[in-house]
Structure 1
């Protein structure tokens, strides 16, 4: 397991978690579509310096049809539909309850990854998934129901983000910053336009600035860090780490909204920590073959898969550039990252 990318996943969770109660405050002066649009526009704007800092091949050259389709579906599901469903649920429910329901994103990502994207989890991994869900159930039991309709709206948002997570983990022709930029720009513009049509008035300048800032830090930073982690440890594993986000949200709800924490929530935090530990000890190894592949992503040269030449590009320990892979067959422990999306009919060790 790559522990540096594990840390990225946890930081991503913390940023996204605190965004929920802070968004609850902004909903006092913004509609759901307006806030969803501004949050993602802020995320896109935050990534602009990283996108323009380096000269790369034109997008039409790097983004093939398969990756373009992945990006389009991820933008529609995770950038347009998901945030609006979340904010619709948040408008009529307690921020702490909504934060806890967001654990459903873990189940959605794991299930979609397993069924559709060759994402593998061993016994420890599935216990980790189950423990993270149990943590959410414990806290929900202590909180009581905030309403069937809000819970269904948040569950729908989690399914959208589960699909988004699995797809963006497979996009290997864009950097995480580029993916976040396009998602923020396209989804943010669309939801902002819908918000203008629905409300037919501009919100106060201070609210716009606050929403853009929240989106830049908590959405832009969170999305980019999550994609970087998911590409290296797999979407399902990254999502288990991301499941800690609701607990950061609960803490922010206490600070910003004055909501109370219960002993049941404390017990749930302990269960979640155990779940993360189970996921981190998951091991999976068998003989497998890598087919020829050319792509771009963050990598280093001590992982058995990157031995290419660095003429004219960065040779720092961790770097990102376009590179190719030749056919190779070997046996080692691995996770379902960009290089290990093979089927698993082979006997597992």
Structure 2
């Protein structure tokens, strides 16, 4: 029995934390505006992760994660803009105009758009099985968005959530470029900057903070559903690549929809159940993929946390105590071999 890849566990855990945050965030929409709520969610993420960084300082040595560099700044800035500012605002606006369970399932569009961008723009391999899974998820999303009403009705809530998914798809692909760096640092910067910007805009528009309890609840939810979830997502990106990580992350909407139906006593219509079935098929096609072929690793120099394995058998030019994992700049020599793999940071070859 082949081992369960670490990246899959991290992606599923990220999905679980984010999935439950969607219906819980809807509970808080009555106490503050969507824009202000988006800001508080991300601010809670940033503050919580900054506290985590402060607590861990001095406890790690050679096993510490590599820090962000100046070359990472453009990628991180784009990720903050799309994923931390525009995405959450659109999500809160859409959530205010549609049911929590439908909104949760519509979030499956994020994985589809992420995979399309990864393949078309960032040249990540997406095979037939992944493509079929995308089509099934899109079909489910279209079924959810269609409204059978008299006259013409524009599903603004669904369109806003789709826009949020596009923003997060851009965010996912931009974040992959810096995924080798400290994931806590990445998520803390994104949360702190995005939270500050969204809160400032909300206050400038005349919105005000509610009582302390809803603010604290939103901050705690942001730390768990956005902060910790993003840390796990970045770790999964290292092992699975962008499209596959998002495919596993597609389980989040089902958890959110199930919790929403329990919290708000929402009953799934036939269209809702059919959409859920289509999306479940799409996710299964993604997670059951097995990719193996002979491939070549070119010479590569980079810095990230790693263990000595088939891809890391380099020597050290400094005293090393044998601790695993450890972090330092290292060079990968050219190698040709065959094994099951994903388009992670060491498998970005062409096909």
Structure 1 length-normalised TM: 0.87
Cα distance change, pair 62–219 in 1 and its aligned pair in 2 (3 A): closer
| Distance 1:61-1:259 versus aligned 2 partners, 3 A rule | closer
Q: The residue matched to 1:239 in structure 2 has which SS? A: helix
Residue 331 (structure 1) shift:
2.6
Cα distance change on mapping 1:47 and 1:160 into 2, 3 Å: same
1:305 aligns with 2:311: yes
1:322 pairs with 2:349:
no
Mind listing any 5+ residue stretches in structure 1 that lack a counterpart? Answer: 345-349
Residue 15 (structure 1) aligned with residue 20 (structure 2): no
Which consecutive residues of structure 2, in runs of 5 or more, have no partner in the other structure?
none
| Cα offset, 1:272, TM superposition | 4.2
- Structure-2 separation of matches of 1:172 and 1:314: 25
Asked if 2 retains the 8 angstrom alpha-carbon contact of 1:31 and 1:199, the reply is no
How far 1:266 sits from its partner (Å)?
A: 4.7
Q: CA RMSD in A?
A: 2.9
Whole-Å separation in 2 of the counterparts to 1:278 and 1:226: 20
Check whether the contact 2:67–2:181 (CA below 8 A) recurs between aligned residues. Answer: no
How far, CA to CA, are the matches of 1:139 and 1:7 in structure 2?
Answer: 29
What is the CA distance between 1:120 and its match in structure 2? Answer: 0.7
Q: Which residue of 1 aligns with 2:248?
A: 241
The CA distance in 1 between the partners of 2:250 and 2:148, in whole Å, is 18
2:11–2:233 CA contact under 8 A, matched in 1: yes
Q: What is the correspondence of 1:249-328 to structure 2 with a 5 Å cutoff?
A: 249-262=256-269, 265-266=272-273, 268-279=275-286, 280-297=288-305, 299-302=306-309, 304-308=310-314, 311-312=319-320, 315-316=323-324, 319=325, 321-328=327-334
1:61–1:4 Cα change, 3 Å: closer
Aligned residue in 1 for 2:31: 29
2:159 to 152, 156, 162: 152
Q: Which moved more, 1:286-295 or 1:227-236?
A: 286-295
Matched, 1:183 2:183: no
1:309, distance to aligned residue in structure 2 (A): 5.3
Measure the CA separation in 1 of the matches of 2:252 and 2:66.
Answer: 35
More deviation, 287-296/212-221 = 287-296
| Residue deviations 1:108-141 (CA, integer Å, cap 9, x gap) | 1011100121211222222232333344445556
Deviations along 1:30-85, one digit per CA (max 9) or x if unpaired, are 1122111111111112222443324689x9984132x2111010000000110001
Q: How many angstroms apart in 1 are the aligned matches of 2:41 and 2:182?
A: 21
After superposition, the Cα gap between the structure-2 partners of 1:291 and 1:54, relative to the gap in structure 1 and judged at 3 Å, is farther
* Distance (whole Å) between structure 2 residues aligned to residue 247 and residue 141 of structure 1: 19
Q: Which residue matches 2:342?
A: 335
Q: How many residues are matched?
A: 339
SS of the residue aligned with 1:293? Answer: strand
Match of 1:347 in 2: none
Report the CA distance shift for 1:7/1:264 in structure 2 as closer, same or farther (over 3 A). Answer: farther
Which stretch shifts more, 1-10 or 81-90?
1-10
Once the 2 structures are TM-superposed, how far is the Cα of residue 253 of structure 1 from its aligned partner?
0.8
In the TM superposition, what whole-angstrom CA distance separates every residue of 1:307-346 from its partner, at most 9, and x where no partner exists?
A: 2457557734xx35233123313132432111222333xx
Separation in structure 1 between the aligned mates of residue 280 and residue 66 of structure 2, nearest angstrom:
43
CA contact (8 A) 2:68 2:178 kept: no
Q: What TM-score, normalized by structure 2, do the two folds share?
A: 0.86
| Alignment correspondent of 1:229 | 236
